[in-house]
Amino acid sequence: MIGINRVKSWLLIAAMGGLFVLVGAWLGGRSGATTALVLALVFNFAMYWFSGSIAVRSTRSRPVTEQEYPQLYRIVRELTQERGLPMPGIYVSDMLQPNAFATGRNPRNAKVAVTKGILQILDERELRGVLAHELSHVANRDILVSSIAAAIGMSITFLARFALFFGGDRERGNGLALLVAWLLAPLAAAIIQLAVSRSREYQADESGALLSKDPEALASALRKLEEATRRVPAPASVSPAEAHLFIMNPLRAGSAARGFANLFSTHPPTEARIARLEQIRRELGAG
């Protein structure tokens, strides 16, 4: 299942790339497409390079010592040794909403953060499951994958707006067609980008469950986080652009997005994540 999600992520990114080429060829021509791509790559490279610092600042997380949080350090050390990862920086946020995130441009620059809220409601087994999920994001280089998807998505948006306001390729479309493309191309790119985010969450759930060898612990943690995220609001400092970093969308509980609305969600429905974890538990039991 993990391999399927990895392939799905890259197929979605390839689809975004194909959409960019089509929109560029039809609306902006080669020069317009190239300009949009370069601008988006520059912007998102900067976001990728500084993503760790941005996320830490927005959540007001601080680095903590092993003396302050011995259990947290012990769990992370055991999991990183099991996975063959460097020890990440460990941070704790004063946020009361229970949540966790991992960031950093590569495993050697990784940061794993938990909120005080999550430390209050999860037992050690559940916390281990959550940390295995976050370390899987690090091992899978999900910050890089999401940055690539964001760069292409932003390129499509730039290109569509450029074509609308500066005329695009008049031989290939009229004003109405440009307006439709201006509306629909960025929407399609956003939907695909969010699908990439959901795919990475599924993959981190699965690889994290295998790392901890306890999928039921992560499922139990998700149940608690789902309920608590509904009750405890996130601080205003967390922006929608950062929501995909967290194990549970801090701005909207995972199961709130159903059906068509799920297309615009950064995370899969929590019940779907739990169902997959229960399937992994059965498969591990059968093995």
Distances from the Cα of 30 to the Cα of 18, 38, 127, angstroms = 14, 12, 50
Q: How many CB atoms lie within 10 A of CB 42?
A: 11
Q: Tens of pLDDT along 144-195? A: 777 777 766 776 776 666 666 655 544 444 566 666 666 777 787 788 778 8
Catalytic entry in 68, 124, 134, 201 = 134
Of 125, 140, 103, which Cα lies nearest the Cα of 218? 125
Domain hosting 38: range is 2-286
Taking phi over 0 as left and psi of -120 to 50 as alpha, with beta for the rest, 247 belongs to alpha
Confidence (pLDDT) at 149: 73
pLDDT of 253 higher than 60: no
Confidence (pLDDT) at 130: 98
Q: Are 250 and 240 in contact (CB under 8 A)?
A: no
Of 138, 134, 129, which Cα lies nearest the Cα of 280? 129
Two structure tokens written together for 113: 């953060």
What strands, in cross-sheet order, belong to the sheet with 100-103? Answer: 61-63, 89-93, 111-115, 100-103
pTM over 0.75: yes
User: Once rounded to an integer, what is the mean pLDDT over residues 246-259?
Assistant: 68
Tell me the residue type at 257.
Answer: A
Confidence (pLDDT) at 254: 44
Angle formed at CA 149 by CA 133 and CA 206, multiple of 5 degrees? 20
Handedness of CA 51, 57, 59, 64 (dihedral sign): positive
Sequence length of the chain is: 287
- Rounded CA Rg of the chain: 20
Confidence (pLDDT) at 277: 97
Confidence (pLDDT) at 170: 47
User: Once rounded to an integer, what is the mean pLDDT over residues 190-218?
Assistant: 91
pLDDT of 217 higher than 70: yes
Q: Tens of pLDDT along 81-94? A: 999 999 999 999 99
Is 134 one of the annotated active-site residues of the chain? yes
Q: Is pLDDT larger for residue 249 or for residue 162? A: 249
Confidence (pLDDT) at 273: 96
Query: How many domains, in total, are found in the chain?
Result: 1
Q: To the nearest 10°, report the CA torsion of 104, 107, 108, 113.
A: 50
Alpha helices in 167-246 (DSSP H): 175-212, 215-231
Q: Is pLDDT larger for residue 134 or for residue 140? A: 134
